[in-house]
């Protein structure tokens, strides 16, 4: 099992944004942070619902937006933004009121777009009043929060995929994630320009194999870059994962957690906002708070394309591995001998893609064999 984190770097980013003199932010506050590694620059015009969560200009004077930014989010209604719960779960009420939403901006430090103050944080609770948000081995479940704004923003909202649009987030479906977070692991320098990366919805089984009991299929999506080199990373938790349908884009996930080194060959996990449990809570809350129906209906996603579906080939001979890969739409790549590897002679002891990964058809899978 690889180290998995609810992206604690954003706690550092928030501390940095508030400024060490305030004494109000702890390392757990907004234990956030995911963004785009090996993505590409884009514009807000293509993803207009994307917003940045920042510490207010008043709380951190003389700091540019990029030094006050700590999480992403998406506009659901003019006065309502959705983000990851761990971005704001541990903030005190007075700290929540010292946050701002920046919308309509490609470059964080430009003067374009709109800024609106946050006046309320809303998170799901049980009938007995207990917060549903919790962490399991450092991983957040029910990782979602709604932020009510003091003034409406004009940014185009996005709708959540509805019950009749479940095909839009089925395994194998192509999706896109956006944000301003860091572009490589182990740094706190965010991107000043909005970035996007193509992702694919992976099977629940793949993340369950990586994360064990921490992965909850009712509230989490398993995703990864098709080429195995793009991922989310520290700095942009809460950012939207969207899928294109015949009626426009639909919101299917919110960036939640992933590999602490932001390595693209490992899966990331998003909050499953389009799943029944979370979608129903968001729909009821948005209607009550903003008077808006935020759920889509009738949109048809493109048919799931053919993929190289990486099989389990551990322990096979090279010939057996090549045959099994070919049967799944993949190709055998480079074969290397691991001089220090243990196991039956000339058998596969490692390979370059995780079993169950969806890669482009015909992708080469490199293997390592024992001496």
Model pLDDT for residues 134-176, shown as the tens digit of each residue: 987 778 999 999 999 999 999 999 999 999 999 999 999 999 9
- Residue 39 and residue 119 in one domain: yes
- Residue 32 and residue 93 in one domain: yes
What is the arithmetic mean of pLDDT over 342-356? 93
Q: CATH number for the domain including 199? A: 2.40.10.10
Q: CATH number for the domain including 338? A: 3.30.10.20
For 68, 192, 233, 265, 364, the CA distances from 14, given in Å and listed in that order, are 7, 16, 15, 28, 41
Range of the domain at 35: 4-290
| Residues forming a β-bridge with 102 | 52, 115
Q: Considering 239, 261, 290, which residue would you say is the last residue of a domain?
A: 290
- Residue 314 and residue 213 in one domain: no
| Residues 6 or more apart whose Cβ sits within 8 Å of residue 243 | 161, 168, 169, 173, 174, 175, 176, 249, 250, 252, 301
Asked if 282 contacts 122 with a C-beta cutoff of 8 angstroms, the reply is: no
Domain contains 205: yes
Domain contains 295: no
- Residue 131 and residue 176 in one domain: yes
Domains in the chain, number: 2
d(CA 196, CA 47): 9
Confidence at residue 24, expressed as pLDDT on a 0 to 100 scale: 35
- Rg of the chain over Cα atoms, rounded to whole angstroms, equals 21
d(CA 171, CA 303): 11
Confidence at residue 21, expressed as pLDDT on a 0 to 100 scale: 35
pLDDT at 67 over 70: yes
Domain contains 114: yes
Asked if 277 contacts 219 with a C-beta cutoff of 8 angstroms, the reply is: yes
Domain contains 270: yes
Domain contains 300: no
- Residue 313 and residue 273 in one domain: no
- Residue 35 and residue 84 in one domain: yes
Domain contains 241: yes
d(CA 366, CA 324): 13
What is the pTM (predicted TM-score) of this model?
0.89
- Residue 151 and residue 226 in one domain: yes
d(CA 335, CA 328): 18
Q: Considering the chain, what percentage of its residues have pLDDT values greater than 70?
A: 83
| Residues 6 or more apart whose Cβ sits within 8 Å of residue 177 | 36, 39, 196, 197, 199, 223, 232, 239, 240, 241, 242, 253, 255, 270
pLDDT single digits (tens) 103-114: 999 999 999 999
Q: Considering 255, 290, 325, which residue would you say is the last residue of a domain?
A: 290
Domain contains 158: yes
Asked if 110 contacts 194 with a C-beta cutoff of 8 angstroms, the reply is: no
pLDDT at 259 over 70: no
Helix %, strand %, coil % of the chain (to 5): 15, 35, 50
- Residue 199 and residue 348 in one domain: no
Supply 45's token pair: 């015009």
- Residue 243 and residue 192 in one domain: yes
Q: Considering 262, 290, 318, which residue would you say is the last residue of a domain?
A: 290
Domain contains 365: yes
- Residue 326 and residue 256 in one domain: no
- Residue 266 and residue 361 in one domain: no
- Residue 268 and residue 314 in one domain: no
Q: Output the DSSP codes for 62-82.
A: T--GGGTEEEEEEEEETTEEE
Taking alpha carbons only, the member of 237, 262, 363, 263 closest to residue 311 is 363
């Amino acid at each position: 099992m690889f180290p998995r984190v609810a992206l604690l770097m954003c706690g550092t980013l928030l501390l940095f944004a508030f400024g060490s003199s305030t004494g109000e932010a702890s390392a757990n506050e907004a234990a956030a942070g995911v963004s785009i590694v090996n993505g590409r620059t884009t514009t807000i015009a293509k993803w207009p619902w994307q917003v940045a969560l920042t510490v207010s200009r008043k709380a951190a004077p003389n700091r540019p937006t990029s030094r006050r930014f700590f999480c992403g989010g998406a506009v659901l209604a003019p006065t309502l933004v959705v983000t990851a719960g761990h971005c704001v779960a541990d903030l005190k009420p007075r700290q929540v009121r010292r946050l701002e939403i920046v919308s309509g901006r490609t470059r964080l430090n430009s003067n374009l777009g709109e800024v609106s103050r946050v006046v309320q944080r809303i998170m799901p609770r049980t009938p007995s009043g207990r917060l549903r948000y919790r962490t399991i081995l450092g991983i957040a479940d029910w990782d979602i929060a709604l932020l009510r704004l003091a003034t409406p923003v004009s940014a185009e909202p996005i709708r959540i995929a509805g019950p009749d649009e479940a095909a839009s987030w089925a395994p194998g479906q192509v999706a896109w994630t956006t944000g301003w977070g860091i572009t490589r692991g182990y740094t706190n320098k965010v991107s000043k320009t909005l970035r996007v990366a193509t992702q694919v919805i992976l099977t629940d089984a793949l993340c369950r194999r990586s994360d064990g009991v921490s992965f909850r299929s009712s509230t989490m999506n398993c995703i990864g870059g098709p080429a195995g080199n793009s991922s989310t990373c520290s700095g942009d938790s809460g950012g939207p994962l969207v899928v294109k349908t015949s009626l426009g884009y639909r919101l299917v996930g919110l960036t939640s957690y992933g590999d602490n080194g932001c390595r693209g060959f490992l899966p990331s996990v998003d909050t499953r906002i389009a799943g029944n449990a979370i979608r129903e809570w968001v729909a009821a809350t948005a209607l009550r708070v903003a008077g808006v129906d935020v759920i889509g209906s009738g949109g048809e996603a493109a048919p799931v394309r053919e993929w190289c579906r990486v099989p389990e080939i551990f322990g096979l001979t090279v010939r057996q591995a090549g045959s099994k890969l070919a049967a799944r739409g993949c190709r055998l790549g480079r074969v290397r001998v691991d001089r220090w590897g243990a196991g039956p002679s000339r058998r596969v002891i490692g390979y370059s893609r995780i079993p169950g990964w969806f890669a482009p058809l015909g992708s080469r899978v490199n293997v390592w064999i024992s001496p």
